Chain A
Amino acid sequence: MKQSVVIKSNKYGLIVILDGELPFADLEREVAEKFRTSAKFFKNAQMAVTFQGRALSTDEEWALVEAITQNCEIEIMCILNENDLTEEAMRRAVEEHASVGGQDGKFYKGTLRSGQVLESETSIIILGDVNAGAKVISKGNVVVLGTLKGTIYVGAAGNEDAFVAALIMDPMQIRIADVIARKSDKQPTARERKKQEETPKIAYVEDGNIYIEPITKEVLGDIRI
């Protein structure tokens, strides 16, 4: 009997050859079954994937990726087109996508002024201030070695473990993944402001709320990256 799902793989990628005629629901079940039985071959791998043998809609592609990731521990980093399937191309694609998140970072030097937006796939360390009206968006974490008064959005790909740290923490809005906090409406008194400026702080999510705490060993100990 002809197999409806065939998996080929190298170190960085999977080529999944699909039957062209089988109804999609059956095919999806087949893919799930196939990966469940071969789960032990693919432990914790980060891979690119490509589908061959039949034309798929975007929704169908996602459904199959879902079927794969739920049945074994492969992390699918991206879906590739058929035209570039050398091992080298797959390695590049995987590495490009793997840098997303908290692990990698880059530096930005300068003051971000009102109306300026700094967007990054990786974490950012800003050597300067983020003024009110400016915006920083990162899929990883953000550290501001200066005053943070603008709007900040970390874990933009949905990572609730992302954090924001700043020498002077006074942001207009903080968004970590899908949790949003905004600056208090009350004007701080001169004394409160001075006190606030004395301690570097870190913002993180716990139980669906954003907390802003002075940076201490205990707090840093709980941060996951």
Chain B
Amino acid sequence: MAHQAVTQLTQKDYKAALQPVWCPGCGDFGVVAAIYQALAKLNLDPDRTMLVSGIGCSSRLPGYVNTYSFNAIHGRAIPIATGIKVANPELTVLAVGGDGDGFAIGTQHFVHAARRNVDITYVCMDNSIYGLTKGHVSPTTPTDEVTKTSPYGNIEAPMNPVLMALACGATFIARSFSAEVKTSVEVIAQAIEHPGFAFVHLISPCPVFRGRQQFDRVKERVRRTPEGFDFTKREQARAIAFEDPNEQITLGLIWRDQRAGYIARQQVIRGKAAAKGTPSYEGLLHSFIPDFGAVGAGR
């Protein structure tokens, strides 16, 4: 349940005074622009919106958005965002970060947030490199790629975030590319409105540590979901998840499922708990005092 601002806001209203530290040409500029536009499109109340991140270049993003923002610790954006959302379901909560943050040190949280279907949006800005530490191999770096910690080429296979999200039971999966701001705005807005865990895989190239060719290779291969594509059909979503990124990268909403979100189920649990009677501290205290009935009972 997203809360809207009282007046119609524009993307400028979501831009914070803090200036980005990102390098020229960084894909994250395109992502933050898309986030401003998506928030404006939904006219979300900045005071009831919260962005949470871990650590990494892209994790600086919450500081650049004029909402409640939290730049926390490496890998933990999702559990912090979960705690915020569960504690106050009135808030719109987004977790953002990079591929190292989400798919290396914080992988477990992604897996379980998807399964738990907690009502937050997770935007992973995937540049396939550890940029903040200046160019180390990441869980999505292609095999054979040379980085500072894969000097003879990356020996490992890259992770496939969309396939993983599908396997983990995410109920909303979309992909975009930092240069395709219009698509990004569209899928981020849809993700925010989705009740349940919404994952946006946002390819956001790093010109400094992956070179201009990374951007060009993505640019050449991206396409929108084809005409007639049905994101509610498991086999169609699966086909896109299994795409070879060297051949083709499909953008748009890939998969959506209607499974009830965590917040809705939490209300059911509270209803069951309420059936145990009116809660009071005195009642609980009394439950610890042995009571064997009236004196004189017992033969």
Answer whether A and B are interacting partners: no
B residues touching A (Cβ–Cβ < 8 Å)? none
Residues of A within 8 A of B (CB): none
